[in-house]
Structure 1
């Protein structure tokens, strides 16, 4: 559980981005955060994850952030390592069967099988053989493998083709029982598949 109490966020010039946010994220629920560009959706996730501290108010966590939350940010960044190491980076443990299942759900399995070194193929942030959508899938898989009780996804669905996106949303609807907090512009698809609780930052901040 994460509870935000009267969160007012300021930018680097101490101008208010949003104010007096009160949100209670409950375990096992799905949430879609919406709002105009620049209203603070990504900043809100960064605040929750402890990456942005220029705010007032307090946040209550049911456990430490590192034990409770996995965060898939919008930046398309890969470590200068193998694909497999990118998939399991910083994980103390992962289920190899679950990894292969996720590769199939993400529609990456057959692509990886075609690579000469498979998951042991070396990549980095300037790798040309992977599309932006494939990089997003790698980041998403790492988030799922972490098995944290809360997963935050910030625009990490934006470069997926429709078939991949629907496959992932079906998985999230039918087989994912963790708390899910999503920032995305694919609002109609997400609402139709996941029926999430919608959090409009502007409406909450002005209520």
Structure 2
């Protein structure tokens, strides 16, 4: 069989053209020792200041960037060490917004984040995913509940396929994982409420 992209066999698509169609946001964000503007602008070297600001705004990054002493000219260190995990992730999302890819791949993009960072990044991702084809690889299932199609893979085997509602009614492994995560969040709520300065 053939794998097709917009009706064209993938073998007939030039590799450099194909790469320009793709955007990736990973769990382990790649940032280099430069300014915030340079890191976001890496997706489009010809971007204007206005386009950089727009990308940061869509990614819910503009507010924290403007609070920094040097704003977009802040040097963030190798791998973004001067930023928090949530801030690094939002810079990566801003870069993807600026690239404006036709196909977006999100690989565990909300893993290992605190609750507030995850909430902001979830909002950023929802804005980024509009009007484009997205592949979302996730263990945190809140990321994928609005997906048109969800595929459950266990031990290298495709075990379930459908949208969120269909899989919840199927009473299989997906439903089991959703309920497990909901129960874990419920168990954590009393701990969060009893911890001073938890916000």
Distance 2:48 2:139 in 1: 31
Q: Find out whether 1:79 has 2:32 as its counterpart.
A: yes
Q: Higher relative CO (CA 8 A, sep ≥ 6), structure 1 or 2?
A: 1
> Which one has the bigger helix percentage?
2
Matched position secondary structure for 1:77: coil
The corresponding residue for 1:177 is: 131
5 Å-filtered alignment, 1:1-207, equals: 60=11, 64-94=17-47, 96-125=49-78, 127-158=80-111, 159=113, 161-172=117-128, 176-191=130-145, 194-202=146-154, 203-204=157-158
Matched position secondary structure for 2:158: helix
Distance 2:79 2:24 in 1: 22
Seen in structure 2, the aligned counterparts of structure 1 residues 104 and 147 have a Cα distance that, compared at 3 Å, is: closer
2:59–2:124 CA contact under 8 A, matched in 1: yes
> Which one has the bigger strand percentage?
1
Q: CA shift at 1:90, angstroms? A: 4.5
* Unaligned ranges ≥5, structure 1: 5-23, 28-57
Bigger Rg, which one: 2
Distance 1:188 1:117 in 2: 35
Structure 1 length as normaliser, TM-score? Answer: 0.59
Seen in structure 2, the aligned counterparts of structure 1 residues 184 and 95 have a Cα distance that, compared at 3 Å, is: farther
RMSD between superposed Cα atoms in Å = 3.3
Q: CA shift at 1:146, angstroms? A: 0.7
Structure 2 length as normaliser, TM-score? Answer: 0.61
